[in-house]
Amino acid sequence: MPSPGSRTLRDHAGQQLRSLCEELGLEDVAEGGVRLLHDLLGSVGSRPIAEPVLWPSFDVDDHTPVEFSLAFDRGGSPTLRVLVEHIAPEATAHKNLLAARRLTERLAQRYQLPLDRFEAIEDLFLPDEPQGRFSLWHAVVLRPDGQHEFKVYFNPAVRGAKRAPDLIAQAFERLGLGHAYDTIVAHAFRQESTSDTFVFFALDLRPEPHCRVKVYVAHERARVTDIERAACAARGVLPGVAKDFCQLAGGSRVAFTRRPLVSCYAFVASDGDVPSGYTLYLPIRDYVPDDAVARDRATALLKRHGADPSVLDRALKIIAGRPLDAGVGLISYVSLRMGQLQPGMTAYLSSEAYGMTPKPPGRPS
Ligand code: TRP
């Protein structure tokens, strides 16, 4: 056991991951998963967490570059995923981008991941002088058989926010989804409004036909009706499901005026211009007084969507280094996957290596 002062980010997040694996029936891949996490973190992993943050990662509120998520498929067992920002030892936007690009190459070699789609669009999203809050994130879905799945996330604002729509349109075009852009703009963007913005563009590093292309749109000050409209762009989304989710997670609000709700459209190659998946992300930490309330709402949502909520409690016990009602943000988002691609619910858990957001005084639930 390292002494508290020398405990590194690797120790902290690695221990959380190992315990989560054991809890979720992934004990066979726990050690390999922890080693993979070390690789994803890079040299920043060996910094003691008592030292100042090297790079203010946008991944998690306290700038820890690690977010865990538990994805519950309808009726199935939960899946563990980890999102990591790879940070270069010299930590500049440019060096982080280069280091994350090299990491992509190493992962592709080690796990035989196809990079053809990544290479088709990388010059759009990986410029020499990246702007914005990040340039390239990696996520891994840990599978019990060790056949882990990898995803990469690009930042549409990496050449400045104004260029984002153009980058997205070009990326779709190059990936053979030329009309996808128009579908999204028609459903997810409110007219005459600058309140809807592209925030992520993601690729599964998997061979066809499972490989998804995903685009994320944040909706400032969205009303539930805006979300219903955004959701129905995808094949097989039932009316009212997104609304019900917003109401349960948001405590019956009709408008979300703090951190924005986010729509994600997922396309597979055969989709043409109509996505087969839609996911709604709700930043629950902004709409609850503390994590105890977030936990209660997430539990109610899991029950509603046919999943076993006790897993979430066990995961929270592992992650939380504090009582749930002492802060807010441990559960950062809850999301609902709708449409034809694996419907289900996901809870996002911050690693909180560096600290936590204290409970805001007097915030009503
Ligand atoms: N922490 C960032 C945010 O809150 C990025 C992020 C992490 C995010 N996980 C996410 C955004 C899930 C949307 C959905 O925006």
Residue 184 forms part of a structural domain: yes
Give, for ligand 1, the residue of 69, 328, 332, 346 to mutate: max count of ligand atoms closer than 8 Å to Cβ. 332
* Confidence grade of residue 1 (pLDDT, cut at 50, 70, 90): low
Distance 3 CA to ligand 1 centre (A): 32
Distance 31 CA to ligand 1 centre (A): 27
Residue 71 vs residues 160, 317, 330, 353: alpha-carbon distances, Å: 32, 17, 16, 22
Q: What's the pLDDT tens digit per position in 259-282?
A: 999 999 999 988 888 999 999 999
Residue 213 vs residues 70, 123, 168, 275, 335: alpha-carbon distances, Å: 21, 17, 11, 9, 18
Distance 59 CA to ligand 1 centre (A): 6
Q: Do 254 and 223 contact (CB within 8 A), yes or no?
A: yes
Q: Is the pLDDT of residue 3 over 90?
A: no
Q: Is the pLDDT of residue 75 over 80?
A: no
Residue with the smallest CA separation from ligand 1 atom 8 is 59
Distance 307 CA to ligand 1 centre (A): 23
Distance 350 CA to ligand 1 centre (A): 10
CB atoms closer than 10 angstroms to residue 127: 16
Out of 29-33, 70-74, 138-142, 239-243, which region has the weakest mean confidence (pLDDT)? 70-74
Q: Residue 364 has what pLDDT?
A: 66
299 closest CA partner among 317, 285, 282, 311 = 311
Q: What is the mean pLDDT of residues 178-206?
A: 93
Residue 212 forms part of a structural domain: yes
- For the CA of 61, the nearest atom of ligand 1: 1
Residue linked to tokens 């989304």: 237
CA–CA separation, 67 vs 138, rounded Å?
A: 11
Q: What is the mean pLDDT of residues 228-253?
A: 95
* Confidence grade of residue 258 (pLDDT, cut at 50, 70, 90): very high
Give, for ligand 1, the residue of 61, 64, 67, 335 to mutate: max count of ligand atoms closer than 8 Å to Cβ. 67
* Confidence grade of residue 232 (pLDDT, cut at 50, 70, 90): very high
33 closest CA partner among 61, 7, 10 = 10
User: What is the CB < 6 Å shell around ligand 1?
Assistant: 58-60, 67, 262, 281, 283, 332-333, 348
Q: Which domain holds residue 249?
A: 9-353
Q: What is the CA radius of gyration of the chain?
A: 19
Q: What is the mean pLDDT of residues 39-50?
A: 96
Residue 365 forms part of a structural domain: no
Residue 329 forms part of a structural domain: yes
Residue 64 forms part of a structural domain: yes
Residue 3 forms part of a structural domain: no
Distance 169 CA to ligand 1 centre (A): 22
Residue 248 forms part of a structural domain: yes
Residue 284 forms part of a structural domain: yes
Number of domains comprising the chain? 1
